[in-house]
């Protein structure tokens, strides 16, 4: 509400209007504080997610390196296998074949077990 005093317009507020505006400002202030809390919580969650992601990426890199090392260890030199099997066959073909099958089964099971150890999470073991 405006009043004219000596030719000047002066804004005059009644106490009821001022109280209503103060209540609205308090309400707005509360809303802003709640929004700031929500943003802070979202930032904290984002940081935690980022840390978990980085940790998992490091684990993946370590597991890939372990897998490559296991693959390299399982690569038996071809000449050694040929010499071993050749000696077995020269003694007795049947015995050599049986030994070959057993060695194949044993190395297959061993390699599967090593890969399982390297790729299975600790909780599942």
- 16-75 pLDDT, tens digit per residue, is 778 888 899 999 999 999 999 999 999 999 999 999 999 999 999 999 998 888 777 777
Do 10 and 54 lie in one domain? The reply is: yes
Show the DSSP H helices in the chain as ranges: 15-74, 78-91, 93-119
Q: Find out whether 45 and 32 touch, Cβ atoms under 8 Å.
A: no
**pLDDT of residue 10 exceeding 80:** no
Do 21 and 51 lie in one domain? The reply is: yes
Residue 38: inside a domain, yes or no? yes
Residue 98: inside a domain, yes or no? yes
The range of the structural domain enclosing residue 2 comes to 1-58
Do 3 and 41 lie in one domain? The reply is: yes
State the helix-helix crossing angle for 15-74 and 93-119, rounded to 10 degrees.
160
DSSP state of 105: H
Do 86 and 54 lie in one domain? The reply is: no
* pLDDT tens-digit series, residues 52-67: 999 999 999 999 998 8
Do 27 and 53 lie in one domain? The reply is: yes
Among the candidates 9, 32, 58, a domain finishes at 58
Do 13 and 44 lie in one domain? The reply is: yes
In the chain, how many domains are there?
2
Read off the pTM: 0.42
Residue 64: inside a domain, yes or no? no
Q: Which of 100, 104, 78 is nearest to 88 (CA)?
A: 100
């Amino acid at each position: 509400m405006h009043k004219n005093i000596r030719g000047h317009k002066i804004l005059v507020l009644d106490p009821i209007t001022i109280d209503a505006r103060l209540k609205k400002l308090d309400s707005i202030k509360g809303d802003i504080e709640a929004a700031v809390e929500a943003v802070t919580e979202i930032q904290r969650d984002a940081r935690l997610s980022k840390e978990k992601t980085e940790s998992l990426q490091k684990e993946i890199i370590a597991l890939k390196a372990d897998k490559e090392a296991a693959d390299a260890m399982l690569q038996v030199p071809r000449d050694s296998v040929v010499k071993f099997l050749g000696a077995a066959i020269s003694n007795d073909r049947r015995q050599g074949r049986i030994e070959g099958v057993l060695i194949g089964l044993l190395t297959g099971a061993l390699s599967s077990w090593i890969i399982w150890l390297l790729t299975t999470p600790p909780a599942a073991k």
